[in-house]
């Protein structure tokens, strides 16, 4: 009786709301918001998400770096979130997309990799982990799942890097950057990346790329987290303030300017011959 009054349902042929008859299946009057996905699509605010994550492979392992600001629209949800998640001793992953989806699927990936290690006696390769994650998430294609990750690891074949998206996309490469700040990070990475870099050069390049991205991208910021995956496992290198990093980078000379200055000073100065007015001018007699 009370539920019928709340739903304002009336049986056919009755005058009042208090009727002893129950409605047929699907006849209940549902309150607004009973379907959150539809309700938010129609009435919810348009929120923009943003982040900057990157990873690249080089001779000494794989570097993973990311900013720490978790933002949604014009609101900063968490200024010190960690967007690089360790999976096991030789595998980490960057996270971009919906934070809850990323955290949930990395828990699933940890469980599945642990079960396979117990069954097979060894952990799957980085390619196997990427293939497993891609296959699991592809079953939920079209259900608003949003996970974009770069799996960074070291296995029997050496350093490996894979990009996996929630629709099942799986790519292997040397450089990946994901998030709203990725175009700015790619600009720095494409200019300074070399496979035979030293670890210190790789650290500087990753910090520079994320710092420049946070300066240009409104949805990225906070600090810069840096991880290095080596043969003996992953290492948490540092966390630096992005604004301080960018300010320090602005004080450094551009890499090409010093070389241009040295080349200009190494060149001999051109010699100009001119006639001294005090010297007598010889004239030929005709």
What are the tens digits of pLDDT across the range 56-103? 999 999 999 999 876 555 545 565 678 899 999 999 999 988 888 888
Residue 48: CB atoms within 10 A of its CB come to 11
The string of DSSP letters for 125-192 reads: PHHHHHHHHHHHHHTTTTS---EEEEEEEEETTEEEEEEEETTS-EEE-SEEEESTTHHHHHHHHHHH
What CA–CA distance (Å, rounded) separates 62 from 191?
A: 18
What is the pTM assigned to this prediction? 0.71
Q: Are 124 and 156 in contact (CB under 8 A)?
A: no
Domains of the chain, CATH where assigned: 53-250 (3.60.20.10)
Q: Answer with the residue of higher pLDDT: 26 or 205.
A: 205
Q: Which of 14, 51, 52, 53 is catalytic?
A: 51
Catalytic residue at 51? yes
Long-range contacts of 201-206 (CB under 8 A, 24+ apart): 202/56, 202/58, 202/60, 202/63, 202/228, 203/63, 203/228, 203/237, 203/238, 205/56, 205/63, 206/54, 206/56, 206/63, 206/65
What CA–CA distance (Å, rounded) separates 37 from 272?
A: 79
- Considering 32-46, 160-174, 260-274, the range whose residues carry the highest mean pLDDT is 160-174
Least-confidence region, from 6-10, 41-45, 80-84, 140-144: 6-10
pLDDT range class, residue 125, cuts 50, 70, 90? very high
């Amino acid at each position: 009786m009370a539920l019928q009054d709340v739903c304002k349902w009336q049986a056919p042929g009755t005058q009042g709301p208090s009727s002893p008859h129950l409605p047929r299946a699907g006849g209940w009057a549902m309150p607004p918001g009973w379907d959150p996905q539809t309700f938010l699509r129609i009435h919810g605010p348009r929120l923009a998400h943003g982040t900057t994550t990157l990873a690249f492979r080089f001779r000494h392992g794989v570097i993973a770096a990311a900013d720490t600001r978790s933002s949604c629209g014009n609101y900063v949800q968490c200024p010190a979130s960690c967007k690089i998640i360790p999976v096991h001793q030789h595998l980490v992953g960057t996270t971009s997309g919906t934070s809850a989806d990323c955290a949930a699927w990395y828990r699933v990936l940890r469980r599945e990799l642990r079960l396979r290690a117990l069954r097979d006696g060894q952990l799957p390769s980085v390619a196997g982990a990427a293939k497993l994650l891609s296959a699991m998430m592809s079953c939920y294609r079209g259900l608003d799942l949003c996970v974009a990750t770069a799996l960074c690891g070291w296995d029997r074949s050496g350093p490996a890097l894979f990009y996996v998206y929630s629709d099942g996309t799986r790519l292997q490469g040397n450089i990946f950057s994901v998030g709203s700040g990725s175009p700015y990070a790619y600009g720095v990475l494409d200019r300074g990346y070399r496979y035979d870099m030293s670890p210190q050069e790789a650290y500087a390049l990753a910090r520079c790329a994320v710092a420049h991205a946070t300066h240009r991208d409104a949805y990225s910021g906070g600090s810069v987290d840096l991880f290095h995956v080596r043969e003996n496992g992953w290492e948490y290198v540092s966390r630096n303030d992005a604004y301080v990093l960018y300010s320090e980078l602005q004080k450094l000379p551009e890499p090409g300017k010093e070389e241009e200055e040295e080349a200009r000073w190494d060149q001999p100065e051109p010699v100009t011959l001119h006639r001294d007015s005090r010297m007598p001018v010889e004239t030929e007699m005709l």
